[in-house]
Amino acid sequence: MTVFDAHCDAPSQMSRLRDYRLDNPDAQVDFPKMRRGGVGASFFAAYVPASLQGEDATRHARRLLDLLDVQMAANADIAAYARCAGGVVRNRRAGRISVLAGIENASALNGSLDLLREFYRRGVRYVTLTHSADNDVADSCTGSGRWGGLSPFGRELVPAMNHIGMLIDLAHSSDATMREVLGLSAHPVAYTHGCCRALAAHRRNIPDELIRAIADGGGIVCMSIYPCFLDDGFVRTLEASGLESQMSVEDEFIKDPGNPAKAAAWAAVRRRLEALPRPGVSRVADHIEHAVNVAGIDHVGIGTDYDGIEVTAEGLEDISKFGTLLDELRRRGFSRKEVSKIAGENLLRVLKIVRKRV
Ligand SMILES: [Zn+2]
């Protein structure tokens, strides 16, 4: 069984000077924790904030991918890039963790299919179309509906991604964007990190109708462990805590990651967030179970969003605890084979299909 996390934001933490070789006390992901959690593969996505556009967005993605290259080179005995499903299997046989590169926010493409090809050549295997705002490709679920779905460039981009074998990621996309992409894409698509809107109303979550449509196209929906997506009650708890106003402490840390006082201030906020009552492992399993009921067992995966979230579900504070989620699925009656599909085999299958049709 390959345990394969569909989404984490590791490159952002690399820019905050985290060394993935070490077992860092405040980290959600590093290689020792992946090992302990039995996680054999993960997409490490280069996250481009919505505030960056044009060349700035491209430069940011390149910089994060460069940082990822540096850490991969320094950890060649532990981890290796995989560029396809077969690469994940080969790395596992060689005893290495697989890292697959992704880009979160297609603004990094700066409206250029040449840049799409360049990123593919350097190993990127999925691109998330949008982030928290509408961009030059498509509308975000937290945007203002600028295009009513895809932009004219977005409508060129979808077939171009199909053609070169780049997986399309619909996390963060608006419902209209998802519908339009599903109508246009010749290949299965992924929704790499989010939860079910039927269980929690957050706009980032995906409604049943679109879960079904992604499954009908052969794709995959991957459930996250972010408390705000898991449970509406946590959103209210967070609002009442007053801790949201402390989030600027993270921005200060991001601007000056080598400053121990700023790192400590952010770690202190995170500890206060962790002290809040949070949805736990069982709530994550509820979302997985719901998605399986809607999509079928072959179309659900897990995309934690570790390293991109300030607080996690209780009991899943870092990736070393991943196994407790799989244990919960077994406890609920999922068979060994079904758990292995959710844990990674479904995502591997989607990667294989997307690549095979090139
Ligand atoms: Zn995200």
| Residue range 95-128, pLDDT digits in tens | 999 999 999 999 999 999 999 999 999 999 999 9
Residue where the block lists tokens 């949008």 = 130
Nearest-angstrom CA–CA distance, 13 and 327:
28
pLDDT value at residue 245: 87
- How many Å lie between the centroid of ligand 1 and the Cα of residue 226? 10
Angle, CA 111 vertex, CA 124 and CA 10 arms, to 5°: 30
Whether 47 and 105 have beta carbons less than 8 Å apart is answered as yes
Structure tokens at 22: 């070490």
pLDDT value at residue 358: 44
Nearest-angstrom CA–CA distance, 39 and 13:
19
pLDDT value at residue 323: 97
Report which of 309, 154, 120, 299 is spatially closest to residue 221, judged by C-alpha positions: 299
Burial of 270 (0-12, 13-18, 19+ CB in 10 A): buried
Burial of 94 (0-12, 13-18, 19+ CB in 10 A): exposed
pLDDT greater than 90 at residue 246: no
- How many Å lie between the centroid of ligand 1 and the Cα of residue 224? 10
| Residue range 157-180, pLDDT digits in tens | 999 999 999 999 999 999 999 999
- How many Å lie between the centroid of ligand 1 and the Cα of residue 230? 14
- Report the percent of the chain where pLDDT is more than 70: 99
- How many Å lie between the centroid of ligand 1 and the Cα of residue 57? 16
Sheet strands (E) in the chain: 4-8, 41-47, 79-81, 97-104, 124-128, 167-169, 190-194, 220-223, 300-302
- How many Å lie between the centroid of ligand 1 and the Cα of residue 47? 8
Q: Which structural domains are found in the chain, ordered by start?
A: 4-231+281-356 (3.20.20.140), 234-278 (no CATH)
- How many Å lie between the centroid of ligand 1 and the Cα of residue 101? 14
Whether 19 and 25 have beta carbons less than 8 Å apart is answered as no
- How many Å lie between the centroid of ligand 1 and the Cα of residue 81? 21
- How many Å lie between the centroid of ligand 1 and the Cα of residue 133? 12
- How many Å lie between the centroid of ligand 1 and the Cα of residue 93? 30
> Mean pLDDT across the stretch 40-45?
98
State pTM to two decimals.
0.97
- How many Å lie between the centroid of ligand 1 and the Cα of residue 94? 31
